[in-house]
Amino acid sequence: MRKKIIAGNWKMNMTPNETLKLIGTLKPLVSGAGADVVFCVPAIDIPAAVNATKDTDIAIGAQNMYHADSGAFTGEISAPMLTDAGVRYVIIGHSERREYFAETNEGVNKKVLKALEFGLVPIVCCGETLTQREQGVTIDFVRQQLKIAFLGVDAKAAKGVVIAYEPIWAIGTGKVATCEQAQAVCGAIRALIAELYGPDTAAAIRIQYGGSVTADSAAELFGQPDIDGGLVGGASLKADFGNIVNYK
């Protein structure tokens, strides 16, 4: 059985002081959860978040990183910086990064390889627009994103990667893909991993659903055979996140 993983993507929210307050609220609500719990916080909040979650099972993730170890890349943060700060996960290729900051599939691949090199767990995002869904190219599009993202990743490393399927049309819109829609794509993702690496890797890799997940929708979504948790946006900034983590 794959252990569920439920990650909160805080996006560009919370000051360091607000981070301490929110984590203080959430800690007792997610304590003892049967799932891996991750808070993916803004870079400036990482030290506060790491300190606030010491001696807990909560892991801290970053929302982005650069693919070089160091250098003249003003404003960027490297994998060794993140690991030294106590970060364990990093979101890579979120649709907002692709849309607003022109991230490409090839750039995502470079980041995935660098994250793995430094022992970070990449949460690799994929997902289609409403137009792509309406034109019936969702599976082809997601397969292309992931095939490029996993270039150069061997089977052993691939087992530890987390994939987050987030239909762009459902992110922050209040719309949620039906369980059937979400399962169909997550099942196709697992089938792709089996094509690339074989059935053992496909059975081990964890696939999240993201896109306006709520406490009301979590149980049914996470109960699907190929959905191993969620990447949660706005709801991760509220006490209700505890209900999502304890969805059963």
CA distance 236 to 218: 13
Closest CA to 145 of 161, 130, 159, 165: 165
**For residue 66, what are its two tokens?**
């650069």
In this prediction, residue 176 carries a pLDDT of 74
CA distance 119 to 248: 31
CA distance 8 to 74: 27
Fold of 5-245: TIM Barrel (3.20.20)
DSSP the chain: -PPPEEEEE--S---HHHHHHHHHHHHHHHTT-SSEEEEE--GGGHHHHHHHTTTSSEEEEES---SSSSSS-TT---HHHHHHTT--EEEES-HHHHHHH---HHHHHHHHHHHHHTT-EEEEEE---HHHHHTT-HHHHHHHHHHHHTTT--HHHHTT-EEEE--GGGSSSS----HHHHHHHHHHHHHHHHHHH-HHHHHH-EEEEESS--HHHHHHHHTSTT--EEEE-GGGGSTTHHHHHT--
The catalytic residues are 94, 166
61, 40 in Cβ contact below 8 A? yes
Residue boundaries of the structural domains of the chain: 5-245
In this prediction, residue 199 carries a pLDDT of 97
What is the pTM (predicted TM-score) of this model?
Answer: 0.96
In this prediction, residue 248 carries a pLDDT of 79
In this prediction, residue 174 carries a pLDDT of 79
CA distance 115 to 90: 8
In this prediction, residue 104 carries a pLDDT of 98
| Neighbour tally for 83: CB within 10 Å | 15
Q: What are the 10-residue block averages of pLDDT along the chain, 248 residues in total?
A: 96 98 97 94 98 97 98 98 98 96 98 98 96 94 98 98 94 83 97 98 97 89 96 95 93
CA distance 81 to 238: 28
Closest CA to 143 of 126, 159, 156: 126
